[in-house]
Structure 1
Amino acid sequence: MSGLVAGSGIVAIVLMAMLALPAKAAQPSFDCDGARSEVEKMICGDDALADLDLRLARDFAQALARASADQVPDLRASQRAWRTQMLKCARTGDPRGCVLEAYTRRIAEF
């Protein structure tokens, strides 16, 4: 029985150590090592924004797949324009809120 108690103690120690480890942060659709803008860096450091970025990337890829060949250039242009506007969130009073709203609205468009 003492082996069972000792084993339980080891399991408890391992579980406590696992809880102490930082959770793996969400990764956006882009490489955070290349993040240059304030907004990109914010997205890389914020799990919720990184998750929204991944969702938007998936939704955009699906929209491209559904689009006809003549619609693709306009769809890509609209995404570039959206991104340009979203990056301007760094100059607002609430950059995170602005980015959150930008992603939410863009995802709703798809």
Structure 2
Amino acid sequence: MAEENVVTVEEVRDAQESLKNGITLHEKKSFKEAIEEFKKSAMTHPFDLKHVDELGAKLKSGSYKLQQESIAYMGCAAVHLNKLIQSLEPGQSQEVPVDESLMNAFKDWQ
């Protein structure tokens, strides 16, 4: 992996914080704000710069409710965070206190 492509502990923390903020906003039915947090999480050290825009285009082409769009972006952000965590150097994952509920969900994805 090239030096500039290395995932940092700080990036994982930022992505996790944005995901958690988005989930909180989603639960409060603040879907637009939640979507912005999920996008922010998914764009932290992006592996594919076009992915979030492509997801947005697909959602716009359908007739989805805002709540459904929020769920789609939530899934995108969660998958992205899992990939970030998996990309950390050995030992670095100990430096990131990953939320217990997120780790339990990610265990099933291996």
TM band (smaller chain): 0.3 to 0.5
Normalising by structure 2, what TM-score? 0.34
Highest CA radius of gyration, 1 or 2? 1
Q: Tell which has more relative contact order, 1 or 2 (C-alpha 8 A, sep 6+).
A: 2
Normalising by structure 1, what TM-score? 0.34
